[in-house]
Amino acid sequence: MKQSIEQWLGWMGIGLSIVFLGGFTLVMNQITMTQFSTLFSAVFPAVFNQMPEEEAFRQFKTLGAWFGFTLLIVILLVVVANSLITYRNYRKAAAGILVLAGLICLVGTQYLAFPIAFLFFAAAALCLIRKPKPRKIFSQKECLNE
């Protein structure tokens, strides 16, 4: 079975989402308060000047959980869209689902993952623009000769 460009863009978006969103979620679930304060105080000094460390730690943990939830929904939507392209060739429905995956990726990451969402939007546009190659229908006689 040959994969189309739209499907490859969807899988690349899932891969990047797993690396970045899943990686951040994993780090935030495993980090301790002392590790957080030593690591993030150097990176985000403005945040630590405005609020206590416990509050910043809680907010980053919440952001990690939100990224994980967004990742699960995006994976589910892209798998459904790729299934529609592969097995049923419902390209308009797949384009709508890919747009929804891109929007959820944008909103769920607070617009931080716009390069990843761009892949989903590009895949949706290609679903609408490109026409699938027609399948060859062989007669019974041709099938028996091959």
Per-residue pLDDT tens over the stretch 54-109: 998 999 999 999 999 999 999 999 999 999 998 888 999 999 999 999 999 999 99
pLDDT band at 113 (very low <50, low <70, confident <90, very high): very high
- Cα 146 from Cα 141, distance rounded (Å): 9
* Pairwise CA distance, residues 41 & 142, whole Å: 71
- Neighbouring C-beta atoms of residue 110, cutoff 10 Å: 11
d(CA 37, CA 12): 33
- Domain count of the fold of the chain: 1
- d(CA 16, CA 115) in angstroms, rounded, equals 9
Does 18 have pLDDT greater than 70?
Answer: yes
- Residues of the domain holding 54: 5-145
The pLDDT assigned to 41 comes to: 81
DSSP class per residue in 80-113: HHHHIIIII--HHHHHHHHHHHHHHHHHHTTTTT
Residue 22: DSSP 8-state: I
Nearest to 70 by CA among 118, 40, 25, 131: 25
Q: Is the pLDDT of residue 142 over 70?
A: no
- pLDDT-based confidence at residue 143 (cuts at 50, 70, 90): low
**95 or 144, which is more confident?**
95
